[in-house]
Amino acid sequence: MSSVPEDPFQIPGFDALCRHREELIISMYKRSGAFWESISELRRKWGISPQRKVPHLDSLEHELQFHPRLDPWALDECVDNVDLSVPVSGTKVGVPDTPTPGYPLCGPQPDDDGNRELTSEWYSDRSNLLRESVPRELRQYRAYQDDYWLTFIGGCLLYDPPADALWDFFVSMPLMNPYRIVRPIVSLNDTWDVEHATSAYYEALLKEIGEQLKPHGFNIGDLRMEALIRNSDIGNAKQRYLERSETTDYIVVRSDTKREEVLDAYNQIASTLPEATSLRKRGRPRVSRLKAVQVAVLHDEFRISQRKLAEAADLPLSKGAEIRDDKYVQRSGTVQYYVKIGREILAQK
| pTM exceeding the 0.85 threshold for the entire prediction | no
- Rounded Cα gap, residues 234 and 180, in angstroms: 40
Query: In b/e form, how buried is each residue of 268-298, taking b as 16+ CB within 10 angstroms?
Result: eeeeeeeeeeebeeeeebebbbbbbbbbbbb
Contact in structure between 209 and 220 (CB atoms under 8 Å) = yes
DSSP string, 269-309: HHTT-TTHHHHT--S--SS-HHHHHHHHHHHHTS---HHHH
DSSP 8-state assignment for residue 88: P
- Cα–Cα distance between 341 and 336 in angstroms, integer? 9
Handedness of CA 129, 132, 136, 138 (dihedral sign): negative
Closest of 338, 313, 312 to residue 323, by C-alpha = 338
- Among the residues of the chain, which ranges form H helices? 14-30, 34-46, 57-63, 72-81, 113-133, 136-140, 146-158, 166-171, 191-213, 220-230, 237-244, 259-270, 276-279, 289-300, 306-313, 335-347
- The three-point CA angle 176-167-320 to 5° equals 110
Instruction: Report the pLDDT value the prediction gives residue 17, as an integer from 0 to 100.
Output: 83
Instruction: Name the residue ranges covered by the structural domains of the chain.
Output: 8-180, 191-275, 289-347
Phi and psi angles of residue 110, each rounded to the nearest 5 degrees, phi first:
-65, -20
Pick 301 or 276 by higher pLDDT.
301
Q: Tell me how far apart the alpha carbons of residues 180 and 149 are, in angstroms, rounded to a whole number.
A: 15
> Which of the four pLDDT bands, split at 50, 70 and 90, describes residue 276?
very low
CA distance 32 to 43: 15
pLDDT grade for 124, boundaries at 50, 70 and 90: very high
Percent of all residues in the chain with a pLDDT value above 90, rounded to a whole number: 36
Task: Give tens-digit pLDDT for 46-55.
Answer: 999 999 999 9
